[in-house]
């Protein structure tokens, strides 16, 4: 009986945890790292892959260096937020109410491969497939393809 009760208590706790996840805020920093040995490592988002639940808010900290944050238009799910910030923008938060795979870059260092992926919600196998078809060219695209590979391997 004790065991049943503790199992019950645990599942109540877990349900509570899942609810608390909604509306949570996640941070992404934009980094300039002079000690890096590749351009895409020198200018980067940290993390470069962020998986968040539906309804989460992502805050772009931009603590370090001169960066912008731009949603990649063709890698924005239909109905999803489009955004563009600089370090000077007072509000650098984005709430993701539409599931899917979002591509984000820096307007200054995108050509060096500064890009990241935000995965919103669960069960994105189809989204991952369609994201593959709209990967941009150049170093930005190389970086994004690498992140999509990691996501697929999960
Ligand atoms: Cu940048």
pLDDT-based confidence at residue 96 (cuts at 50, 70, 90): very high
| All structural domains of the chain with their residue ranges | 23-153
Residue 38 Cα to ligand 1 middle (Å): 14
Residue 141 Cα to ligand 1 middle (Å): 15
| Per-residue pLDDT at 95 exceeds 70 | yes
Mean pLDDT of the chain: 87
Residue 43 Cα to ligand 1 middle (Å): 6
Share of the chain above pLDDT 90, in %: 71
| Per-residue pLDDT at 16 exceeds 70 | no
Query: Fold for domain 23-153?
Result: Immunoglobulin-like (2.60.40)
The one-character DSSP state at 123 is: -
In the predicted model, what is the mean pLDDT of residues 34-49? 92
Residue 105 Cα to ligand 1 middle (Å): 8
Residue 36 Cα to ligand 1 middle (Å): 14
Position with higher pLDDT, 15 vs 85: 85
Q: Please list, in sequence order, all residues whose beta carbon lies within 8 angstroms of the beta carbon of residue 109, skipping any fewer than 6 positions away.
A: 39, 43, 67
Residue 73 Cα to ligand 1 middle (Å): 17
Q: Is 109 annotated as a binding residue?
A: yes
Angle between helices 125-132 and 138-153 (to 10 degrees): 160
| Per-residue pLDDT at 149 exceeds 60 | yes
Q: What is the 3-state secondary structure (H, E, C) of 68-113?
A: EEEECHHHCCCCCCCCEEECCCCCCEEECCCCEEEEEECCCCHHHC
| Per-residue pLDDT at 88 exceeds 80 | yes
Residue 118 Cα to ligand 1 middle (Å): 17
pLDDT score recorded for residue 21: 52
The one-character DSSP state at 122 is: S
Q: Is 106 annotated as a binding residue?
A: yes
Residue 42 Cα to ligand 1 middle (Å): 9
Tokens of 84: 């563009």
Position with higher pLDDT, 116 vs 13: 116
Alpha-carbon distance values, 146 to 11, 17, 40, 129, 140 (Å): 37, 32, 12, 14, 10
pLDDT score recorded for residue 124: 81
Block residue for tokens 């970086």: 143
Tokens of 126: 């189809």
């Amino acid at each position: 009986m004790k065991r049943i009760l503790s199992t019950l208590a645990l599942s109540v706790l877990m349900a509570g945890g899942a609810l608390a996840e909604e509306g949570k805020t996640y941070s992404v920093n934009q980094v300039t790292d002079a000690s890096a040995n590749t351009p895409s490592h020198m200018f980067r988002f940290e993390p470069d892959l962020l998986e968040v639940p539906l309804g989460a808010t992502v805050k772009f900290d931009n603590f370090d260096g001169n960066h912008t944050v731009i949603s990649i238009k063709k890698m924005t799910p239909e109905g999803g937020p489009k955004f563009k910030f600089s370090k000077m923008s007072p509000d650098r938060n984005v709430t993701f109410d539409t599931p899917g795979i979002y591509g984000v870059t820096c307007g200054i260092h995108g050509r060096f491969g500064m890009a990241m992926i935000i995965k919103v919600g669960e069960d994105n196998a189809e989204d991952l497939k369609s994201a593959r078809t709209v990967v941009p060219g150049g170093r930005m695209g190389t970086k994004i393809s690498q992140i999509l590979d990691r996501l697929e391997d999960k």
